[in-house]
Amino acid sequence: MIAGMKSPQDSRRGGGLAQRFYAIVAGLAVVAASAAIDAGAATPYGQPNILLILCDDLGYGDVRCNNPEGKIATPHVDRLAREGLRFTDAHTTSSVCTPTRYSLLTGRYNWRSRLQSGVLGGLSPRLIEPGRLTLASLLRAQGYHTMAVGKWHLGMNWARHEGQAELPRHGIETSNQVWSVDYAQRIAGGPTSVGFGYFFGISGSLDMVPYTYIENDRVTVAPTIERAFPMTHGKTDKWTRRGPAVPGFEVEDVLPTLARKAVDCIAQSATEARAGRPFFLYVAFTSPHTPIAPSPQWRGKSGLNPYADFVMETDWAVGLILEALERYHVATNTLIFFTSDNGCSPAADLAQLRAAGHAANGPLRGHKADIWEGGHRVPFVVRWPGRTPAGTVTDQLISLVDVLATCAEIVGARVPENAGEDSVSFLPALLGRTNGPWRQSLVHHSVEGRFAIRRGPWKLALCAGSGGWSAPREPEAARQGLPPVQLYNLTQDLKEQHNLQAGHPEIVAELTALLEQQVRDGRSTPGPPQTNEVQVDLWKKQQRATSGRGG
Ligand SMILES: [Ca+2]
C-alpha cells in the first residue's frame, strides 16, 4: 500500500486496537506532519495533468447527463460524461461558496476553519490557515506546474490605507469599508500564497467588490470608480454590491475572459507537460452565479431565461477548454474533474424554469444554502482517458473534500497527519472498481452552519427546517413545532419528504454520536486527533437562543 493512502479498512473507524495504535504513534506522527510532503512511492498512474473545473451554483439537474428531461443543452459536459465517469451521489461540504472551496483545496471540512456560517466578502482576509497543506501545494511539491483561474472567494490580505479601519474577518464588508483598501499595493495571502504558481481571476463572487481582475498578487488595474451591475441581465430590481470598479470592467466579459485565460494556461504549459512536467489547472468559473450575465451571443439561446442562457455559455466555456487540451496534445494525459460548489440558487428563478419543465436541482429538495440535498448534491464528472471506463455511472458517496486524497494517491504523495483530515480517496471508483463504499459517512453543512450527517441511506440533519433559505427557515420551523432533527432514508425518500426521526431513535442517537466524535477528533479519517480552529457549536445553541429572543 502507498504510504499515506487510506484503505477501505482504515476508513471504517472504530475503537479498539486501531485507536490505541494511533494514540501511541501520535507523538511520532506530529513530527512527521511538520515535514514537507515527501515524494512517496511511484504509482502506476504516473503524473497526469489535472484539470479541475468548478462551476458556481450549477444545479444537479442543470446538466443533461444528470437530467435527460432537462431543458438546457450542455453538450460539452455531456461529452465528458460519455467519455468518463459520472457520480450521482457527489456532494459539496457546504451549500455555499467559500466553505466548499476551503474543503476542496484543503481536504478538511470547512466547519473546522474559523468560518462557522455564511461566506467571505471580496475584501475578507485569507481563510486557509498559514502552513496548511492544499491541493495546490501538494501537487506543486510533486513537481506540478500549478495554476488557478477564476473566482477565489477564500479571502486575501488586502493592504489598507494608513489609519483606515480593519476589514471584517467574516462576512461581507459594508459599503463604507470598501475604499479603506489601498488597491495599488501587493495583495498578500492570495492563491499564490497557498501553492498556486499562477493566478488570474477575481477576489470574491462576481456580485461582490472589487470589480477588477487580479493577476498573481496584484490587481491588473486599480479601481477608481464605483459601480453596481444588474443581478440578472435585462432586469433592474436587484443589483450587485456597489463599490470599487475599474472603468470598462463588464460582468458579461468575465466568463469568456476566464475561459480564454484557462486556454492560455494550457497553451503555455503544454510543451513542458508533454516533456514530463505536468500541470494542475484549477478553473473556478464565476457562472452561472449572479450576476447572471450571458454574453450578447448567448442571450435568448435557451428560450427559457437568462440563467439558462448562462448555463449554456458555461458549457461552451468547458468546450473551449476541452478543445484546447486536444489542440495542444495533452488531452489523453489529462485527468478532468468537473463539478459545482453548491446547488442551484433561487436567483436562477427556479419557478420560471420549473414552469418550462426544467428542474435545476433535479428531483432534490431545496436549493443553494439549504441542508437538504438540493443545497449540496452536485454534478460530478471525471474523465481520465485510459483509466476511467467511458460512459459509466456510479452511486458511490463522495465529496469535493475527497479530491485531495484522491489526487495524492494518484501521484503517490503522502498526506501528513495534520492535513486532509476529512479526505478519503475515491481512486478505486475512477478505476472502475465497484467494491465500495470507500467513504463510510459524510458531513453536510448549510449557510447557517447547520449540520447533517450521512451514513449509507440515512441522513440526519440537526435542524428543524432548511437550515438555509428555503421555507421553513429555522424560526418558522420552530413556530410550526417541527421536530428538532430530521432523519431521512434517501434510498426510499430522495426528496426528503418523510421525517423518520420518531420511529428510529437509535439511528438518531448513533449518527449524532458519530458526528460528535468527528467534531471532537478534529478529523474523520484515521490518524491522531487534530484541533479545530474554533469551538464548533454543533446544535447552534447560541443562534437558537438569539432566534428565540427574536420571537
Ligand atoms: Ca456558489
CA of 55 to the centre of ligand 1 (A): 8
Find the helix packing angle between 306-327 and 254-274, rounded to 10°: 20
CA of 172 to the centre of ligand 1 (A): 15
E-strand ranges in 342-461 read 380-383, 392-394, 398-399, 442-445, 451-455, 458-461
CATH class of 49-430: alpha beta
Mean pLDDT of all residues in the chain? 92
Cell of 205: 463572487
DSSP state, residue 37 = P
Give me the mean pLDDT over the 43-56 stretch.
96
Give me the mean pLDDT over the 125-140 stretch.
98
Q: Is residue 297 packed enough to be buried (19+ CB in 10 Å), middle (13-18) or exposed (0-12)?
A: exposed
Task: Please report the pLDDT score of residue 168 as a whole number.
Answer: 86
Q: Is the pLDDT of residue 403 over 50?
A: yes
CA of 129 to the centre of ligand 1 (A): 21
CA of 119 to the centre of ligand 1 (A): 10
For 435-451, letters b (16+ CB in 10 Å) and e give ebbbbbbbbbbbbbbbb
Query: How does pLDDT run across 217-258, given as a tens digit for each residue?
Result: 999 999 999 999 999 999 999 999 999 999 999 999 999 999
CA of 197 to the centre of ligand 1 (A): 24
Q: How far apart are CA 116 and CA 156, in angstroms?
A: 18
In the chain, how many H helices and how many E strands? 14, 18
Query: How does pLDDT run across 261-308, given as a tens digit for each residue?
Result: 999 999 999 999 999 999 999 999 999 999 999 999 999 999 999 999
Confidence of residue 169 (pLDDT cuts 50, 70, 90): confident
CA of 342 to the centre of ligand 1 (A): 5
CA of 368 to the centre of ligand 1 (A): 8
N-term to C-term CA, the chain: 57
Which whole-number Å values give the CA distances from 44 to 8, 139, 420, 431, in the listed order? 19, 17, 22, 12
CA of 29 to the centre of ligand 1 (A): 36
CA of 344 to the centre of ligand 1 (A): 8
DSSP state, residue 88 = S
Q: Is the pLDDT of residue 14 over 90?
A: no
CA of 59 to the centre of ligand 1 (A): 10
Query: How does pLDDT run across 300-310, given as a tens digit for each residue?
Result: 999 999 999 99
Amino acid at 420: G
Q: Is the pLDDT of residue 189 over 60?
A: yes
Confidence of residue 41 (pLDDT cuts 50, 70, 90): low
CA of 162 to the centre of ligand 1 (A): 34
CA of 101 to the centre of ligand 1 (A): 9
Q: Is residue 8 packed enough to be buried (19+ CB in 10 Å), middle (13-18) or exposed (0-12)?
A: middle
**Domain ranges in the chain?**
49-430, 440-549
Listed residue (86, 97, 127, 117) closest to 376, CA to CA: 97
Task: Please report the pLDDT score of residue 477 as a whole number.
Answer: 96
User: Which CATH number, 3.30.1120.10, 1.10.10.10, 3.40.50.300, 3.40.50.720, labels domain 440-549?
Assistant: 3.30.1120.10
CA of 380 to the centre of ligand 1 (A): 15
Amino acid at 527: G
CA of 95 to the centre of ligand 1 (A): 8
Q: Which value, to the nearest 10 degrees, does the dihedral of the CA atoms of residues 397, 400, 404, 405 take?
A: -10
Task: Please report the pLDDT score of residue 43 as a whole number.
Answer: 87
CA of 410 to the centre of ligand 1 (A): 28
Give me the mean pLDDT over the 192-212 stretch.
98
